[in-house]
Structure 1
């Protein structure tokens, strides 16, 4: 599919030089790592689901959903919330992601760098664990939260390295902001996962209301590096587009070009994201040494 779209693809032979440049940019705090769930399989099978489809399957095991929606995490989650209550959905998600995931070599490498902003788009919290394992006490984690049951204009909650909730403004002075737009298992079991969780977010995201001020400020002078991400669903593309909105660039993605769907290839081309066609493990080795 990618071959029919004008993608800027870095061939494997040219990848070492480009990755060396990316590594230098990361060390200089010029890029924002944007981490996806495929990273969980970097060192072997992940102890928790590493794709939306795998989460859908786990939810379906706990509350069987109709066949037409069975492979969609967002739709299965909505089915459960509508029929079994939000607390049941939250309990299922907490059970699915209960096993702690150890940071891998990329998490450890990023934790050692003076990065102003890191985006982690999955629920397991390995990047936060990597920062803590590195002894970092100078970061703040901002997690997206559901509006279900809320009567306030709230999109996120902010936590210090110990997991204590802090004022949103405190993130603006943190050395590193870890932004988990879809929530996380720890410290408070925040999950954006059902279709209803995203209704108001997607209504407002084009005017950037759900994006934290600290994220907006830090992305303005930086580009993005997408690692372990797929964009085969409109929800995933919308979030990435809005989080990187008004950023300075340049942008890179490590991805197997042959596996891209047409919509993914079009997204990467439209957003001017340079695609590094290299296996994830080899690319990570080049980035962290």
Structure 2
């Protein structure tokens, strides 16, 4: 396994690997806690607003109920509060931010990787693009920001790395895809790639994805991963210490994703060391 980790590190250094981060990455972080699972996030929501018992543990449905019976602003305010703290980036976050990856995909709402990029690249020279809710930005699928959090539509040079946050994020503008309607709008179009920025479609070509802190045990996470990695290489890796569910195992096989049966902490130590400057 150490040889494989070293090979992944070499390919990251060569710009051939795209890190794809899920909420499980927060387990590596110290500092103020933020919700690190959909279950934890929906608990925050339902502590703020009463929702019917049958959906109290269902994040997208609870968010939709709040949006319908309170206001979309209520959902945004709850999300802003839940992710106001920024955990201290782990050594793996910082190593990935400093790597030669042309693209990072971050599929949770916290700003940890964003903070790592600011630490690793204080001079800037990178950009982020976030998915947008159609209930707030009808007809506009994404928003792009420079390293100073300023909106920008300027063309992205090939040498400028990109942070892609398909579900949005806390900073800089509180963009969130979290309710049922948010996801339905995106999933209706995602098969034809409309919500996925052209630069992401271009940069994934021929590259390998490295899935960290992700599970694929629900249809939503599988759908996003499948469409984001479309037309990439046929070799990918996912750190999954626990035995996959039947549907996860089928997804991994279909997508050419090799399961690495290590704890995330053990893999993080190995990859961080392999990426360290000589």
1:43-66 Cα offsets, whole Å, 9 max, x none, are: 458610001111111101111222
3-state DSSP of counterpart to 1:170: coil
Match of 2:258 among 274, 277, 280: 274
- Which of 1 and 2 has higher RCO (CA within 8 Å, sep 6+)? 1
Listed as ranges, the gaps of 5+ residues in structure 1 are 1-14
1:226-285 Cα offsets, whole Å, 9 max, x none, are: 000011221111000000001124200001142x22222221121110000001111011
Alignment correspondent of 2:272: 288
Whole-angstrom CA distance in 1 between matches of 2:124 and 2:137:
30
Whole-angstrom CA distance in 2 between matches of 1:72 and 1:172:
40
Alignment correspondent of 2:184: 199
Alignment correspondent of 2:228: 243
Alignment correspondent of 2:52: 66
Instruction: Give the TM-score of the pair, scaled to structure 2.
Output: 0.94
1:141-200 Cα offsets, whole Å, 9 max, x none, are: 00001011434x210000001100100x43354521100000000000001000011122
Query: For the structure 1 residues 216 and 172, does the alpha-carbon distance in structure 2 shift closer, same or farther, using more than 3 Å as the test?
Result: farther
Alignment correspondent of 1:122: 108
Q: Is 1:187 matched with 2:167?
A: no
3-state DSSP of counterpart to 1:74: helix
Listed as ranges, the gaps of 5+ residues in structure 2 are 274-278
Alignment correspondent of 1:32: 18
Query: For the structure 1 residues 64 and 45, does the alpha-carbon distance in structure 2 shift closer, same or farther, using more than 3 Å as the test?
Result: farther
3-state DSSP of counterpart to 1:165: coil
Whole-angstrom CA distance in 2 between matches of 1:70 and 1:116:
39
Whole-angstrom CA distance in 1 between matches of 2:54 and 2:3:
45
Whole-angstrom CA distance in 1 between matches of 2:147 and 2:31:
27
Query: For the structure 1 residues 44 and 129, does the alpha-carbon distance in structure 2 shift closer, same or farther, using more than 3 Å as the test?
Result: closer
Whole-angstrom CA distance in 2 between matches of 1:65 and 1:230:
26
The alignment's C-alpha RMSD in Å is 1.4
Whole-angstrom CA distance in 2 between matches of 1:63 and 1:91:
12
Match of 1:145 among 114, 120, 132: 132
Displaced runs of 4 or more, over 6 A: none
Alignment correspondent of 1:256: 241
3-state DSSP of counterpart to 2:129: strand
Name whichever of 174-183 and 36-45 sits farther off. 36-45
Whole-angstrom CA distance in 1 between matches of 2:123 and 2:229:
25
Whole-angstrom CA distance in 2 between matches of 1:154 and 1:71:
30
Alignment correspondent of 2:276: none
> How many pairs were matched up?
272
Whole-angstrom CA distance in 1 between matches of 2:107 and 2:216:
12
3-state DSSP of counterpart to 1:166: coil
Name whichever of 39-48 and 266-275 sits farther off. 39-48
